[in-house]
Amino acid sequence: DIQVTQSPSSLLASLGERVTITCQTSQSISNNLNWYQQKPGQAPMLLIYYATSLQTGMPSRFSGQYSGRSFTLTITSLEPEDIANYFCLQHYSAPWTFGGGTKLELK
Amino acid sequence: EVQLVESGGGLVQPGRSLKLSCAASGFTFSNYYMAWVRQAPTKGLEWVASITNSGGSTYYRDSVKGRFTISRDNAKSTLYLQMDSLRSEDTATYYCTREDYPGITLDYWGQGVMVTVSS
Residues 28-87 of A with CB under 8 A from B: 32, 34, 36, 41-46, 49-50, 55, 87
Residue B113 banded pLDDT, cuts 50, 70, 90:
very high
Residues 6+ apart with CB under 8 A from B51: B33, B34, B35, B57, B58, B59, B70, B71, B72, B79
Residues 6+ apart with CB under 8 A from A25: A2, A3, A4, A5, A33, A69, A71, A90
Inter-chain CB proximity B44 and A96 less than 8 Å: no
Predicted local confidence at residue A41, as pLDDT: 85
pLDDT one-digit tens code per residue, B45-71:
999 999 999 999 999 999 999 999 999
Distance from the B47 Cα atom to the nearest Cα atom in chain A, whole angstroms: 6
| CA–CA separation, B119 and B102 (whole Å) | 41
Asked if pLDDT for residue A70 goes beyond 90, the answer is: yes
Return mean pLDDT, chain B: 96
Residue B104 banded pLDDT, cuts 50, 70, 90:
confident
Contacts of B110 in chain A (CB under 8 A): 43
| A71-97 average pLDDT score | 96
Contacts of A55 in chain B (CB under 8 A): 107
pLDDT one-digit tens code per residue, B87-97:
999 999 999 99
Residue to substitute from B47, B58, B59, B65, interface A, most A β-carbons within 10 A:
B47
Asked if pLDDT for residue A40 goes beyond 90, the answer is: no
Predicted local confidence at residue B101, as pLDDT: 82
> B35-47 burial, b for 16+ CB within 10 Å, e for fewer?
bbbbbeeeeebbb
Predicted local confidence at residue B42, as pLDDT: 85
Residue of B nearest to A46 (CA): B107
Spatial contact of A5 and B74, defined as CB atoms under 8 Å apart: no
Inter-chain CB proximity A46 and B104 less than 8 Å: yes
- Which run of H or E residues covers position B21? strand B18-25
| B95-114 average pLDDT score | 92
Inter-chain CB proximity B59 and A94 less than 8 Å: yes
Residues 6+ apart with CB under 8 A from A104: A10, A11, A13, A19, A21, A78, A82, A83, A84, A85, A86
Smallest Cα–Cα separation from A83: which of A19, A5, A23, A24? A19
* Closest by Cβ to B61, choosing from A50, A55, A95: A95
Smallest Cα–Cα separation from B59: which of A90, A95, A98? A95
Percent of chain A with pLDDT over 90: 95
Asked if pLDDT for residue A60 goes beyond 90, the answer is: yes
Tell me the residue type at A24.
Answer: Q
Q: In this complex, is the C-beta atom of A92 within 8 Å of any C-beta atom belonging to chain B? A: no
